[in-house]
Amino acid sequence: MTNIRQVVGGSLTAFAAVGFAGSLLPAPAFGQSVDDRALSDLRVDNVGGCTTLTVNFNIRVQLLSYFPHGSGRQLRIRVQPLDPVQGVMGKESLRPPATYDALQAVEFDGSDANGGVLTLTFTHDVGFDVEAGERAQSLVLKLSGPAGCQAAGTAAATPAATGRPALPPVTVPPGLYVVNLASQAGTMMALSEPQKRAIAGQVAYQTQSERDAQHWHRLRLGFFATREEAEAARKRLAGFFPDAWTLKVTDDERAAGISGRIDTGSIDTGRGSTGAGTAPTAATTEADRAETAQLTSDAEQAIKEGNLDRAVQLLANATAKPESDRTPRALELLALTHERKGQTAHAQAEYEDYLRRFPSGEAAERVRQRLASLAAPADGTPQLRAASGATRAATAWRWGARGSFSQFYYRDQSTTKALDATRSQVGPDVDNSVNLNQLVTSADVTVTGGNDRTQLQLRAAGSYSKSFGTPFNLVTTNAAGQVISRVGSGNSKDLESLTALYVDWTDRDLGVSARIGRQTRNSAGVLGRFDGGLVGWQASPKLRVNFVAGFPVLSSHQMEVLNKRPFYGVSVDFGRKRDTLQTSLYWFDQHVAGGFVDRRSVGIETRFLKKNFNAFALIDYDVKFKRLNLGLITLNYSFPDHSTISATADYRQSPLLTTSNALYGMFTTDPQPQAILDLRGLRPFFTDQQIYQLAKDRTLVSKSLTLAYSRPLTSKLQANVDFNLTDTGGTPDTPATAGTGQVFGQPAIGKEYYYGAQLVGSGLLWSNDIYILSGRYADTHTTHVYTADINARVPLTRKFRLSPRLRYGYRTNKFDAGNFRQFQPTLQANWYPFRHGEVEVEFGGNFTRENSYTGGSLTRTTESGYVITAGYRLDF
């Protein structure tokens, strides 16, 4: 475990002294944290116009609630971190995906006392549903447009619902297995006539996915009840689609694929010859004509702004109206927009529908040219490979890059006045301090290469903090109090941070993956960031074997490899990713210089996932110390009325039990006191068995129970309540020896109680605004703490948002008359000048008053100050 002691004077020192209970009090508001990130990355999958967004974290999280339900332009998701985090989580953001332009911003705030809050901001109203992901480190968001997405198991959407012409009826067989006919990075090319005939009368649909700068379009054919049936179909079609492969999809993809299927039923005779795709139209009214014109005009504006998702939704509604003289323009624009989005199969279908319905005129000739360009592109983009041996689109390597760059300036300045009440005739001591004055530059770059089956990824992420004359000390120590890095010594010092630097390789055909370098893992005994390698082998669809080895990284500021504490581990995962029950068994072994076993654990992790219920359990048992190191179980249930209840029980050694814990507080006395920083330095005074016992003595037990309940009161108002009980034990004294001093134990804290309530409202004053009113109370070992917080997020325009916030905290001591008050007003402004750019400015005040007693003497301390954050983020 890493202990980072940061001494900056003024308000920050005061907050550090408050301790865990004081974390409920307001703290200075700063932007994105540079120490450790909770967010990892995003994955976007689109099938039939329905989008699934997977948010991956570096830590395990429990979904508590989300608001609003149904739709909106802002989505607020509350999560509870299940893993210990190095330092205090702050504000983070992820680059919005290029293939889903309705998403404007993805932000995470881990500093909220009510739990971590993930906020997504959209450019227009979007329908959403939130679920726990396949892994405990992920959340899944199902996003839809005005027409919505179908629930699993329903029939295909009607033409009126989708804005598409009626398709010839086909028989939809049961099952979840499909054949992935073809894959291509970028734009999916049109099918040849032989390929069309080969799949005529069957369910074919197109998918899109984006992750780590790779955009893949895939054409799939379904559905089959067993993998054997799918394999037989693949072999039958191998002459037309030689790069095909089989897989099992989800119920949601099946439903969306049926809804968004491509017209394959009329290929043999030609769509124009039968007219099978023509839907009957109702009588057109002047109101319908005017509405079609308005929807088309709004779509043209959305296209100019680069919001293609919005344009597709508007044009789908326009083409669903009864046919009029305004329909041709809407239909042509719909096809063109699909083409620009890379949805070639959909664009081809719309162009063909246009020519069937409106075969003459200048626009018809233009549409014929666009349709011809899809079949034979002029830019040399490779076609889907046919039996003739053309370019292999699925196996040709493609390269891409994505990244983000940000610079933020932070300033915290205060004036502190301390008055000794017993000497009122003496004026107060005044301290004018610049507690923080620095510029943080951060970058995160990922380069990817590969094809549909093999992927290579190189990633580097870090930051550089430039301090401007701030008295700043930073000492990083390990679990034993051993100094890893020292920065400062009372003077300003710049800081470097390296959060990720690795190479990742995946081969789906072989079922093998490998990652080497600085990376983060929170499973199978590895609890956080490390320098090393991770190799996995998918032995069967339901069995995966993983091997990990390396050295722990105790802080992102650690710029060297900590090679004195090597570890290795082996784990076996049972169950497919989408199975209801998934289980992992692992062995973890870590050593430390001197031949000591630092940690040797066996463990089990189990995940149970259903539509309205999910559970996660973890047991880590140290076979060397014969103690339970970590036990965790978390449950979450969603009711039909969208209310949710969750419970988490946690038992753990704190810090995590390792032999290095024996070094806590140890020092030699001859010739002068000096800290012992290496376990080998204890051997002159203790036997190895005594050293192992010292490690157990220096480690306490921490237990906690958390309950949370969320319930929507109205469509615009939601209530959240939570309760947390902690029980923290103590450690015994270690007597002095002939060469070491006495180490005093830590008294048990006992039970502490935390209560919270929150009201969240949306659309109360302005459209799509969000307001959060919360209150908390803590009954700790030494204090009573009360806090109140009101926060708002008001989008004044699509590109500009204001977020005012007021926080007040009050603390009273149990064993004397001391108390502490704090008031913090802040105002944050966010401006999005273009798709992947953001400017953020935040200004806040910090006003405190404290009465403290030392030896019966009263000291009154007041502080007033301000904090400023200003910066920008650029994504590419």
186 band by pLDDT with thresholds 50, 70 and 90: low
Mean pLDDT across 254-261: 82
Distances, alpha carbon 781 to alpha carbons 5, 21, 729, 754, 816, in Å: 23, 9, 12, 12, 13
Q: Is the pLDDT of residue 166 over 70?
A: no
Mean pLDDT across 439-463: 88
The dihedrals phi and psi of 816, each to the nearest 5 degrees, come to -155, -175
Question: 467 CB contacts (<8 Å, ≥6 apart)?
Answer: 437, 438, 492, 493, 494, 495
Mean pLDDT across 269-286: 42
Q: What is the pLDDT of residue 477?
A: 40
Q: What is the pLDDT of residue 32?
A: 29
Contact call for residues 799 and 835 (beta carbons, < 8 A)? no
Q: What is the pLDDT of residue 9?
A: 32
Q: pTM value?
A: 0.74
Q: Is the pLDDT of residue 341 over 90?
A: no
State pLDDT tens for residues 202-226.
Answer: 888 888 888 766 778 888 998 998 9
Distance between CA 673 and CA 664 in Å, rounded?
A: 14
Mean pLDDT across 788-810: 91
Tokens of 308: 């293609």
Long-range contacts of 704-707 (CB under 8 A, 24+ apart): 704/648, 704/649, 704/650, 705/647, 705/648, 705/649, 705/650, 706/80, 706/646, 706/647, 706/648, 706/649, 706/650, 707/645, 707/646, 707/647
Q: What is the pLDDT of residue 282?
A: 46
Q: Is the pLDDT of residue 266 over 50?
A: no
Question: Percentage of residues in the chain with pLDDT exceeding 90?
Answer: 33
30 band by pLDDT with thresholds 50, 70 and 90: very low
Neighbouring-strand partners of residue 653: 701
State pLDDT tens for residues 365-394.
Answer: 788 778 777 765 444 444 444 444 333 445
Q: Is the pLDDT of residue 464 over 60?
A: yes
Question: 362 CB contacts (<8 Å, ≥6 apart)?
Answer: none
The whole-chain average pLDDT of the chain stands at 80
Q: What is the pLDDT of residue 323?
A: 81
Q: What is the pLDDT of residue 557?
A: 86
Q: What is the pLDDT of residue 490?
A: 42
Q: What is the pLDDT of residue 648?
A: 93
State pLDDT tens for residues 499-532.
Answer: 899 999 999 888 899 999 999 888 888 988 899 9
Mean pLDDT across 450-474: 78
State pLDDT tens for residues 813-862.
Answer: 998 888 999 999 999 999 988 878 899 999 999 999 999 888 778 888 99
Pick the more confident residue, 272 or 657: 657
State pLDDT tens for residues 658-709.
Answer: 999 999 889 988 778 888 889 999 999 999 999 999 999 999 999 999 999 9
Q: Tell me which residue has tokens 């739990």.
A: 115
Distance between CA 154 and CA 151 in Å, rounded?
A: 6
Q: How many CB atoms lie within 10 A of CB 512?
A: 13
The dihedrals phi and psi of 13, each to the nearest 5 degrees, come to -65, -40
187 band by pLDDT with thresholds 50, 70 and 90: low
State pLDDT tens for residues 55-105.
Answer: 988 888 888 888 888 888 888 898 888 876 654 456 788 888 877 878 888
Q: Is the pLDDT of residue 594 over 80?
A: yes
Q: Is the pLDDT of residue 35 over 50?
A: no
- Among the listed ranges 25-29, 115-119, 316-320, 758-762, which one has the minimum average pLDDT value? 25-29
Contact call for residues 354 and 365 (beta carbons, < 8 A)? no
The dihedrals phi and psi of 96, each to the nearest 5 degrees, come to -65, 145
- Among the listed ranges 148-157, 612-621, 841-850, which one has the minimum average pLDDT value? 148-157
Q: Tell me which residue has tokens 């060397």.
A: 624
Question: 458 CB contacts (<8 Å, ≥6 apart)?
Answer: 446, 447, 448, 502, 503, 504
Q: Is 378 exposed, middle or buried (0-12, 13-18, 19+ CB in 10 A)?
A: exposed
Q: Is the pLDDT of residue 279 over 70?
A: no
Q: Is the pLDDT of residue 275 over 60?
A: no
Q: What is the pLDDT of residue 318?
A: 84
Identify which of 312, 359, 301 has the alpha carbon closest to the alpha carbon of residue 335: 312
Q: What is the pLDDT of residue 28?
A: 35
Q: What is the pLDDT of residue 285?
A: 77
Tokens of 388: 């003739």
